[in-house]
Structure formats: structure tokens, C-alpha cells
Amino acid sequence: MDMNSMIYILTDFGNRDTYVAQMKAVLLSLVPAGTGLVDMTHEVPRGDVLRGAFHLWVFSGVVAPGSVVLAVVDPGVGTDRRAVACLAKDVFYVGPDNGLFGLLPLEKAWLLPDPEEESSRTFHGRDVFAPAAGRLAADPGWADHLDVLDPESMVRTVPPLPATDGDELEATVAHVDHFGNVVLWLPSENYSEIRPREVIPPGGGVHRLSPAGTYGEAQGLLFLKGSQGCMEIALGGGDASKFLRLSPGDRVRLRMEKR
């Protein structure tokens, strides 16, 4: 596999501390000069493996083959959860086997070496995952020296499934973006043809929805195919999440047009 000399990094570390910079320092000590380090996001909510898996799934559609993705959302750091490298669409992913890679079409997987004796039990991002990601970026053949895992044995992630009740479809909020658009666990490849006329948030109230193709073509609440591979609820000129008081994990009811 030809390497793309790019490492993408996703964590739940935020930017207040030097944790991300410490991982980058390790990476830069291992990779060839000129290797790019790109921050995907460090704002995954603390310990939210499902949200991290969502971002990796979305990102997998644009990342170039030959890249390495270093992903650390690891509430079980230091426990017996496995440290792994895996391959999906010719991209290496390195991180904990806790479901973080559970939405990806995994082709191969390997068990990473045990931490060095002097390494921290609470910061595998720096002491286990960053060294592995750097080695793979410098030499993809390093994977041949690792113990092979069956990708089917890795922890999978099952998104909250929608449910139907008469003329209503209940769906879960997957993500709220910076603009307040509400991304639903409704893959657009399966749900782009539905036409809900109303949305009922968990706090109550019934709000009219208009089908749309873009954010700017109508006012009010819009239901449209978003850029992240899922259906979205947006508010023309406003913040749909605040208007509807929705957060990731909330369930909303979509009332369909009567035929």
C-alpha cells in the first residue's frame, strides 16, 4: 500500500491541555519530514465512543487511501480493552478496540504490542497509539510484525435504530454541528425519499417541517439530505438544535405526510 504521508487525529481531549501536542511530538519523532498532521476534531464529548465512531464513519468517505488515522476516545484506558490497528478502504486506523472503529468496513486488524514498562497506564494515546501510528506512517510493512486479529472479533457499534409507529418515524439525534443542524441516525441512502410534515421533540410541541434541498431555499424548519450521509433537520437562518432543544442521543418523532 502506497502511503499518503498524512496522519489524521481525532480525540476527546479538547485543546486546554497539552495532550494532543504530546501525541504530535511522538508522531513527529517517528515519521519522515514532510508528513502532514491534520486535526480532525478534539471536541468529541468526553468518553463518547459512539460520537467518535460517527465522526470516523463520516470521515471515511473523504480520507485518501494510504493515510493513517489516530483516534483516541478511550474511557477504558489501562484496562483489558485491546489496543489495535485496523485497515478499512486502504486506510490504517489506530486506537482502542471499544467500538470506536465499529462503523467502518474493516478488512484487516492487528493487536498492538503491550505498553512499555515505563509508559503511563492512563495515557495510551501518547505511549501506545501515537508510536504505532507513526510507525505505520513511516513503514506500512510494520503491520506484518504484529499479531493478526480477526476483524469480526472487534467491538462493533450499532447506531440507535429508528422505529415506526403508524404514520410516525422515531429517530435518534446523531450529532449537532456548529451551525445547529440536527444530524439524525437516518442514512440518506435509505431515507432520502421520506417526507415528514412535522417533528415532535422529546420536550413536546409539534413543529412544521418543510422538505428542502439546501439550507437557504426556505424559512422555518427544514428536512433535507445533509452532507454527512444522513438526513438532517435545519432551521432557515437559525439554530435548529436550540429551537427544538435537541442534543445528541435525543429521540425525535417525524410525522409523515398522509398519502
Tens-digit pLDDT profile for residues 95-144: 999 999 999 999 999 999 998 888 999 999 999 999 999 999 999 999 99
**Residue 11 phi/psi, 5° resolution?**
-150, 175
What mean pLDDT do residues 21-47 have? 96
Supply the pLDDT for residue 258: 65
Q: Are 52 and 8 a contacting pair, CB within 8 Å?
A: no
**Share of residues in the chain with pLDDT > 90 (%):** 90
Supply the pLDDT for residue 169: 97
Q: Return the exposure string of 117-155: e unless at least 16 CB atoms fall within 10 Å of the residue's CB, then b.
A: eeeeeebbbbbbbbbbbbbbbbebebbeebeebebeebb
Supply the pLDDT for residue 1: 47
Comparing CA positions, the residue from 124, 142, 259 lying closest to residue 197 is 259
Average pLDDT of the chain is: 95
Supply the pLDDT for residue 218: 83
Supply the pLDDT for residue 257: 76
Instruction: Please report, for the chain, the start and end positions of each structural domain, with discontinuous segments joined by +.
Output: 6-153, 163-256
| Alpha carbons 66 and 90: distance in angstroms, whole number | 6
Strands (E), the chain: 6-11, 36-41, 68-72, 83-88, 91-96, 108-111, 147-149, 163-165, 168-176, 182-187, 196-200, 207-208, 210-211, 220-225, 230-236, 251-256
Give the C-alpha distances (Å, rounded to integers) separating 251 from 46, 170, 204, 214.
21, 6, 11, 24
CATH superfamily placement of domain 163-256: Bacterial fluorinating enzyme like (2.40.30.90)
Strands (E), 73-167: 83-88, 91-96, 108-111, 147-149, 163-165
Give pLDDT tens digits for 47-60: 999 999 999 999 99
Supply the pLDDT for residue 259: 54
What mean pLDDT do residues 15-35 have? 96
Q: Which fold has domain 6-153?
A: Rossmann fold (3.40.50)
Whether residue 2 has pLDDT greater than 80 = no
- H or E element that contains 21: helix 19-28
Whether residue 3 has pLDDT greater than 80 = no
